[in-house]
Amino acid sequence: MALIVQKYGGSSVADGEKIKSVARRIAKIKDEGNEVVVVVSAMGDTTDELINLAHQVSEQPSDRELDLLLSTGEVVSSTLLAMALDSLGYKAVSLSGAQAGIETDSKYSRARILRVDPKRIANELGKGNIVIVAGFQGMTQDMDITTLGRGGSDTTAVALAAALKAEICQIYTDVEGVYTADPRLVPQARKLDKIGYEEMLELASYGAKVIHPRAVELGELYDVPILVASSFNDSPGTIICKEASMEIRNKVSGIVHDTNVAKVTVIGVPDRPGIAAAIFEPLANADISVDTIVQNASIENIADLTFTVARSDLSRAMAIVEPIARDIEAKRCVADSKLTKVSIVGTGMMNMPGYAAKMFRTLYAQGINIQLITTSEIRITCIISEDRVKDAVQALHRAFELEKE
Per residue in 248-267, is it b (16+ CB within 10 Å) or e — as a string? ebeebbbbbbbebbbbbbbe
- DSSP for 102-165 reads EEE-S-TTS--EEEE-THHHHHHHHTT-EEEEE-SEEE-TTS-EEE--TTHHHHHHHHHHHHTT
What is the distance between the alpha carbons of residues 200 and 378, in angstroms, rounded to a whole number? 11
Residue 63 or 243 with smaller CB distance to a copy of itself: 63
d(CA 257, CA 207): 5
**92 vs 324 by CB, closer to a copy of itself:** 92
Note the residue count of the chain. 405
Closer residue to a copy of itself (CB): 80 or 163 = 80
Residue nearer to a copy of itself on the CB measure, 140 or 253: 140
**CA-to-CA distance for 180 and 195, rounded, in angstroms?**
11
- SS3 at position 324: helix
Least Å distance between CB 17 and a copy of itself?
8
Angle at alpha carbon of residue 361, lines to 355 and 363, rounded to 5°: 105
Other C-beta atoms closer than 10 Å to the C-beta of 89 total: 7
Residue 119 beta carbon to a copy of itself: minimum distance, rounded to whole angstroms: 11
Nearer to a copy of itself, 231 or 343 (CB): 231
Q: How far is the CB of 58 from a copy of itself (least distance, A)?
A: 4
DSSP state of 271: -
As a whole number of angstroms, the distance between CA 48 and CA 121 comes to 29
Q: 359: helix, coil or strand? A: helix
Query: Which residues make beta-bridge pairs with 335?
Result: 264
Question: Please, which residue, 103 or 271, has the CB nearer to a copy of itself?
Answer: 103
**Cβ contact 286:323 at 8 Å:** no
Q: How far is the CB of 331 from a copy of itself (least distance, A)?
A: 41
Beta carbon nearer to a copy of itself, 104 or 308 = 104
d(CA 94, CA 143): 19
Q: Could you tell me the smallest distance in angstroms from the CB atom of residue 175 to a copy of itself?
A: 25
| Other C-beta atoms lying within 10 Å of the C-beta of residue 25 | 17
Task: Give the nearest distance from C-beta 36 to a copy of itself in angstroms.
Answer: 17
Would you tell me which residues interact with a copy of itself (CB under 8 A)?
15-16, 19-20, 23, 50, 53-54, 56-62, 64-66, 68-69, 71-72, 75-76, 79-84, 86-87, 93-94, 96, 98-99, 120, 143-145
Q: Which residue, 116 or 145, has its beta carbon nearer to a copy of itself? A: 145
Closest distance between a copy of itself and the C-beta of residue 155, in Å? 22
From the CB of 142, what's the least distance to a copy of itself, in Å? Answer: 9
| C-beta separation of 68 from 54 below 8 A | no
